[in-house]
Amino acid sequence: MSHDPLAAYPDSMREEIARVRRVVADLHAELPRYELVVWTAGNVSQRVRHPEVADGSADVLVIKPSGVSYEDLTPEAMVVCTLDGELIEGTRAPSSDTAAHAYTYQHMPEVGGVVHTHSTYATAWAARGEEIPCVLTMMADEFGGPIPVGPFAIIGDDSIGRGIVETLSTSRSPAVLMQNHGPFTIGRDARAAVKAAVMCEEVARTVHVCRQLGDPLPIGQRHIDSLYDRYQNVYGQK
Ligand SMILES: O=C(CO)[C@@H](O)[C@H](O)COP(=O)(O)O
């Protein structure tokens, strides 16, 4: 009889994992569509919460397999891991950034989605280790201030995840520019994290272009707070 790696999880969680497989597979197509990646250089994940373990310790994450072309990322190709980054279900190894995603979920319980790209303009700011100043109303809306820089960290252990959490735990921004590497974004779900990645690249480009023409004008903190509050709590279809 074949072994079911998800057998220990409640039926409702297994159904949610199947749904999130489709969500995460579909969202990966947004990365090349918005020109945030080349080749396979980006990844998306979403948390699935265990309905009977409130502290999040039994949650899992769904992420793409490492090094697989975006056109081959079907729901069945997605990989399910624990929040320790251990493989639960998948036919290929999970993304090489799984440890960073997992650490973020472990230490930021409100986070439901994580995205990593090497999008050109945001990564250029990361290469300089300079935060993107909040000089656009669009930045105040989505980021609530500057987009911060996280520490230089080498892939392979928890150091990237630690840098993401240390930086974003003291910022309203859903995006962090990991020095010399590129942007990581978070959200209440994977779609929100993908939106943050799209908006991060857009404002990185706009502020870069602005800086070619002169010095951008600052926005007063009172206005940044007001814009952020409106966008986060009023804007759009509720
Ligand atoms: O930054 C890196 C490698 O340095 C990774 O983000 C890869 O570029 C994408 O890796 P996979 O998700 O395909 O494993």
Q: Is 235 a catalytic residue?
A: yes
What spacing in Å lies between the alpha carbon of 222 and ligand 1's midpoint? Answer: 39
Q: At residue 21, what are phi and psi to the nearest 5 degrees?
A: -55, -45
Q: Is 59 a catalytic residue?
A: no
Q: Is the per-residue pLDDT at 1 higher than 90?
A: no
Q: How many angstroms separate the Cα of 145 from the Cα of each of 158, 202, 206, 232? A: 27, 15, 15, 13
What spacing in Å lies between the alpha carbon of 208 and ligand 1's midpoint? Answer: 25
Protein residue whose Cα sits closest to atom 1 of ligand 1: 41
As a dihedral over the C-alpha atoms of residue 74, residue 27, residue 116, residue 163, rounded to 10 degrees, the angle is -110
Q: How many angstroms separate the Cα of 16 from the Cα of each of 25, 78, 185? A: 14, 14, 23
Average pLDDT over residues 163-168: 98
Give 238's pLDDT tier (boundaries 50, 70, 90). low
Q: Are 72 and 45 in contact (CB under 8 A)?
A: no
Q: What percent of the chain has pLDDT over 70?
A: 99
Q: Is the per-residue pLDDT at 173 higher than 80?
A: yes
- What pLDDT is attached to residue 3? 87
- What pLDDT is attached to residue 86? 95
The catalytic residue among 34, 70, 141, 189 is 141
pLDDT in tens, 60-85: 999 999 999 999 999 999 999 999 99
Please enumerate in sequence order all residues whose Cβ is within 8 A of that of 231, keeping only pairs 6 or more positions apart, or say none: 140, 141, 142
pLDDT in tens, 83-109: 999 999 999 999 999 999 999 999 999
For the chain, state the CA radius of gyration: 18
Q: What letters, b where the CB count within 10 A reaches 16 and e where it falls short, cover 2-26?
A: eeeeeeebeeebeebbeebbebbbe
Q: Are 102 and 82 in contact (CB under 8 A)?
A: yes
Average pLDDT over residues 4-13: 96
Q: Is the per-residue pLDDT at 200 higher than 80?
A: yes
Q: What percent of the chain has pLDDT over 90?
A: 96
Q: Is the per-residue pLDDT at 237 higher than 80?
A: no
Average pLDDT over residues 18-27: 98
Query: So where are the chain's domains?
Result: 11-233
Protein residue whose Cα sits closest to atom 4 of ligand 1: 155
Please enumerate in sequence order all residues whose Cβ is within 8 A of that of 13, keeping only pairs 6 or more positions apart, or say none: 48, 49, 50, 51
- Average pLDDT across the chain, whole number: 97
State the pTM of this model: 0.97
Whole-angstrom distance, CA of residue 165 vs CA of residue 176: 9
- What pLDDT is attached to residue 156? 86
Please enumerate in sequence order all residues whose Cβ is within 8 A of that of 197, keeping only pairs 6 or more positions apart, or say none: 31, 34, 36, 115, 117, 119, 175, 183, 185
What CATH superfamily classification does 11-233 receive? Class II aldolase/adducin N-terminal domain (3.40.225.10)
- What pLDDT is attached to residue 2? 77
Whole-angstrom distance, CA of residue 33 vs CA of residue 51: 34
Beta carbon of 78 within 6 Å of any ligand 1 atom? no
